[in-house]
Structure 1
Amino acid sequence: MTFTQSVKTCFRKYFTFSGRASRSEYWWFFLFLVLGSIVASILDSMIFGAVEVDTGPGSVGVESNGPLGSLFSLATFIPALAAGWRRMHDTGKSGLYLLYPLIVMIGIAVFAMFTGAFEQMSTGDIGTAFTGVLGIVLMIALVVLAISPLLVLWWLTRPSQPGPNEYGPNPHEVPS
């Protein structure tokens, strides 16, 4: 699948979360999203001057609050989610696996809320939140949180499951 075919396919399947998306379809569309965000940021800075660059010792931060980047992100959020969902289907996994990092974050937040770790952190006593058994559980959860996006990325790069699976026929074996 080419770059333009991929972008057209992903926008044509704007709200389609069923079926499968080939690796090339997903990654060409991902490249479109990255390039579109860069172009929108450049246009925001040229038209609205909405880019702020903060420099400090050993760090550089860029913040863009322009409307074009926000509109582009809003317009492409659902098709990006749908393409990732279909890509997970292509590897034989449920689309919910795409949300794994978000589920881990919510789980950590709920655990921290019930154990009182938020209160300790808000008072500046971060060390107390990470002591004892609860602290060990929080540290393990943070390691899982750090690994989870990498795991999802690895799943997105896996080859297509050969033949049809429970989510539909292989996109490489179906005539366009």
Structure 2
Amino acid sequence: MSFGEAIQTVFRKYAEFTGRASRPEFWWWALFNLLVTSALNLFNVIQIGDNAYLGSLLSGLWSIGVLLPNLAVAVRRLRDAGYGWGHIFWLLVPIAGIIVLIIFWAQPSKQPVGVPSTPPPPPAPAAA
């Protein structure tokens, strides 16, 4: 999956918590989110109040705008790695929680239960 395909997929499935998200989809989205946030924070040179800066305002609005897609892709990635959606609550644990989640998100994809890893062999020809 390419960078652009990953971004399109996350925005297309912005509120879909079912299904799975591959490692490339998740990590390309994380990079995109980091780049947009960093670019918006460049506007911190513009002060819009006594203690308010334009970059912080724009970055905060972006974060609110992508909160649902971030949570959805994170839950789908956890499911793809073989973990339940409840592990997203590791985010509530300061510092150690994000470390645990990064380890979970970095795991390779697991086959869902009941789905064979290889297709079944074709049936043998009938004897004449």
- Using structure 2 for the length normalisation, give the TM-score: 0.76
1:10 aligns with 2:10: yes
- The match for 2:97 among 117, 134, 148 is 148
C-alpha separation in 1, matches of 2:27 and 2:98: 16
Contact 2:6 2:26 in 1 (8 A): yes
C-alpha separation in 1, matches of 2:90 and 2:63: 21
Q: Which amino acid aligns with 1:40?
A: L
- The match for 2:84 among 94, 106, 118 is 94
Corresponding residue for residue 81 of structure 1: 71
Q: Kindly tell me: are residues 64 and 159 of structure 1, through their superposed partners in 2, closer, same or farther at Cα, counting changes over 3 Å?
A: farther
Q: Which amino acid aligns with 1:41?
A: N
Once the 2 structures are TM-superposed, how far is the Cα of residue 64 of structure 1 from its aligned partner?
Answer: 7.3
Contact 1:18 1:86 in 2 (8 A): yes
Which structure 2 residue ranges, 5 or more long, are not aligned?
118-128
Q: Kindly tell me: are residues 156 and 66 of structure 1, through their superposed partners in 2, closer, same or farther at Cα, counting changes over 3 Å?
A: same
Q: Which amino acid aligns with 1:157?
A: A
More strand by share: 1
What are the equivalent positions in structure 2 for 1:1-176 lying under 5 Å apart?
A: 1-42=1-42, 44-46=43-45, 48-49=46-47, 66-102=56-92, 105=93, 146-162=95-111, 164-165=112-113
Identical residues among aligned pairs (%): 29
Once the 2 structures are TM-superposed, how far is the Cα of residue 77 of structure 1 from its aligned partner?
Answer: 1.0
Residues paired across the two proteins, number: 112
C-alpha separation in 1, matches of 2:39 and 2:24: 22
Over residues 56-112 of structure 1, what are the superposed CA-to-partner deviations in whole Å (9 max), with x where a residue is unaligned?
A: xxxxxxx8763211111111111011000000000111111021241xx4xxxxxxx
Pairwise CA RMSD of aligned residues? 2.5
Which structure 1 residue ranges, 5 or more long, are not aligned?
51-62, 106-144, 171-176
Contact 2:44 2:55 in 1 (8 A): no
Corresponding residue for residue 140 of structure 1: none
